[in-house]
């Protein structure tokens, strides 16, 4: 009996131990299942819950599924951009800078004609490239681009007019003002020596004393001092008159040839009945005058004194002598001002080349006696 009871106790103990072991095994498996990390590769791409079925403990698996699943963007998908606040947004537009702005509105030397901002690469459009360089303060580079394009002979008529207009504006600053530009191929700095005079320096560089004084802001030639640095443009300047367009173009060097520089264009009036002879002319030595007397031309045009308000020559006279073509050996013709600015752009003179008074004042300062030529072409 006692032996039977002992067997029964052992069997119950074994059964109890087995049950306990099975329970522990089930508990361990359930615990592993609850704590195992979610496999991103098998996570559902989208989790859709019907309204009202969401539970607080759904947040973690949904977040895990969304972050683990790689995102594929279709061509129409746009990335989300964070808004740029006013404090972080910056303009990339280059400022517009003239040469005056570079020097602070004062006479000064431009180190190289270039601003510190690097200009973008060439656009292939000469006018767009010139504009970029002007906005970056690179006046000399802009001038070279436009002048090279003009001399290339590849521009249309409208582009030629545009290039000449822009070059004229640049040269008002580079040549005709007192601002100094380093690295200008057409200019240099001259240091005054003891005994120098304005006329002597100007003659050496084939320009007029008046232009030399203008470029250096000199009001009184007698006040030139030793060791004074002067801005010098190397001449001579020459002109081309196009009769069909009623224009006078100024150049440094032989007009239109390699190495020459277009300077500026002015509108003119010419002789009535096509009476301005074509050909090549030279500015005649000793024939440039300010406030000139009109010596008359026949009974219909009597002589007039210098200060006569009816004097048709205005305030300047540049006498010419013909050297080639239909102009050979002709005298008595010249470039002068007018008392009738409305005549500009017409055949209105007695054969001379007529400019507005403010324009002939500049031309007078640029053309040199015995050096400068004037080509008159159809």
Q: Are residues 131 and 221 in the same domain?
A: no
Q: What is the mean pLDDT of the chain?
A: 78
Q: What percent of the chain has pLDDT over 70?
A: 68
pLDDT at 253: 95
Domain-embedded: residue 30: no
Domain boundary among 136, 159, 177: 177
pLDDT at 286: 96
List CB contacts of 366: < 8 A, sequence separation 6 or more. 207, 208, 211, 235, 237, 250, 263, 372
Burial state string for 205-234 with b = 16 or more CB within 10 A and e = fewer than 16: bbbbbbbbbbbbebeeeeebeeeeebbbbe
Domain boundary among 156, 177, 198: 177
Token code pair at residue 153: 């002979």
CATH of the domain at 197: 3.10.350.10
Catalytic residue among 110, 179, 205, 336: 336
Q: Summarize the confidence of residues 139-149 as an average pLDDT.
A: 97
Q: What's the pLDDT band for 11 if we cut at 50, 70, 90?
A: low
Tell which wins on pLDDT, 234 or 38.
Answer: 234
Token code pair at residue 63: 């977040």
Specify whether 336 is catalytic.
yes
pLDDT at 312: 86
Domain-embedded: residue 55: no
Catalytic residue among 110, 179, 205, 352: 352
- What's the pLDDT tens digit per position in 214-256? 999 999 999 999 999 999 999 999 999 999 999 999 999 999 9
CA 356 to chain centre: 29
Q: Are residues 244 and 351 in the same domain?
A: yes
CATH of the domain at 313: 2.40.440.10
- What's the pLDDT tens digit per position in 48-76? 333 343 333 333 333 333 333 333 333 33
Contact 186, 261 (CB under 8 A): yes
| pTM, entire model | 0.69
| The pLDDT of residue 38 is above 50 | no
Q: Summarize the confidence of residues 194-214 as an average pLDDT.
A: 97
Q: Are residues 220 and 324 in the same domain?
A: no
Domain-embedded: residue 83: no
Q: Are residues 204 and 336 in the same domain?
A: no
Q: Are residues 270 and 347 in the same domain?
A: yes
Domain-embedded: residue 140: yes
Domain-embedded: residue 138: yes
pLDDT at 31: 53
Q: Are residues 121 and 159 in the same domain?
A: yes
Domain-embedded: residue 48: no
Q: What's the pLDDT band for 118 if we cut at 50, 70, 90?
A: low
**CB-side exposure of 355: number of CA atoms within 13 Å?**
22
| Residue range(s) defining the domain that contains residue 325 | 237-377
Q: Are residues 169 and 192 in the same domain?
A: no
Q: Are residues 261 and 368 in the same domain?
A: yes
Q: What percent of the chain has pLDDT over 90?
A: 62
Separation of alpha carbons 62 and 64, rounded Å:
5
Domain-embedded: residue 47: no
List CB contacts of 171: < 8 A, sequence separation 6 or more. 143, 263, 264
Q: Are residues 168 and 266 in the same domain?
A: no
Q: Are residues 145 and 229 in the same domain?
A: no
Q: Are residues 326 and 357 in the same domain?
A: yes
Separation of alpha carbons 276 and 105, rounded Å:
43
Domains contained in the chain, number:
3
Domain-embedded: residue 292: yes
| Lowest mean pLDDT across 19-23, 105-109, 265-269, 276-280 | 105-109
| The pLDDT of residue 190 is above 70 | yes
Q: Are residues 167 and 210 in the same domain?
A: no
């Amino acid at each position: 009996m006692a032996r039977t009871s002992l067997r029964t106790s052992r069997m119950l103990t074994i059964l109890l131990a087995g049950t306990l072991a099975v329970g522990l095994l089930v508990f361990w498996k359930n615990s592993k299942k609850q704590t195992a990390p979610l496999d991103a590769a098998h996570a559902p791409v989208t989790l859709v819950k019907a309204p009202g079925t969401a539970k607080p403990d759904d947040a973690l698996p949904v977040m895990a599924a969304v972050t683990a699943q790689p995102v594929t963007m279709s061509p129409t998908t746009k990335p989300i951009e964070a808004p740029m606040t006013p404090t972080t947004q910056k303009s990339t537009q280059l400022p517009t800078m003239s040469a005056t702005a570079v020097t602070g509105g004062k006479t000064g030397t431009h180190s190289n004609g270039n601003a510190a901002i690097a200009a973008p690469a060439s656009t292939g459009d000469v006018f767009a490239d010139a504009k970029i360089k002007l906005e970056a303060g690179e006046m000399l580079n802009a001038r070279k681009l436009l002048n090279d394009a003009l001399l290339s002979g590849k521009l249309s008529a409208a582009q030629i007019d545009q290039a000449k207009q822009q070059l004229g504006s640049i040269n008002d600053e580079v040549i005709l003002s007192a601002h100094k530009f380093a690295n200008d191929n057409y200019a240099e700095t001259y240091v005054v020596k003891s005994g120098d005079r304005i006329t002597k320096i100007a003659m050496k560089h084939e320009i007029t004393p008046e232009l030399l004084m203008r470029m250096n802001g000199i009001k009184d030639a007698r006040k030139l001092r030793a060791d004074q640095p002067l801005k010098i443009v190397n001449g001579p300047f020459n002109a081309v008159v196009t009769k069909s367009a009623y224009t006078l173009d100024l150049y440094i060097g032989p007009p239109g040839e390699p190495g020459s520089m277009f300077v500026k264009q002015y509108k003119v009036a010419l002789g009535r009945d096509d009476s301005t002879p074509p050909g090549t002319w030279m500015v005649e030595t000793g024939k440039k005058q300010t406030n000139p007397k009109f010596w008359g031309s026949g009974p219909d045009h009597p002589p007039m004194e210098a200060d006569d308000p009816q004097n048709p020559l205005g305030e300047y006279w540049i006498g010419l002598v013909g050297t080639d073509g239909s102009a050979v050996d002709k005298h008595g013709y010249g470039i002068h001002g007018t008392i009738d600015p409305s005549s500009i752009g017409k055949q209105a003179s007695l054969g001379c080349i007529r400019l507005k008074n403010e324009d002939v004042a500049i031309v007078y300062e640029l053309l040199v006696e015995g050096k400068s030529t004037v080509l008159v072409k159809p």
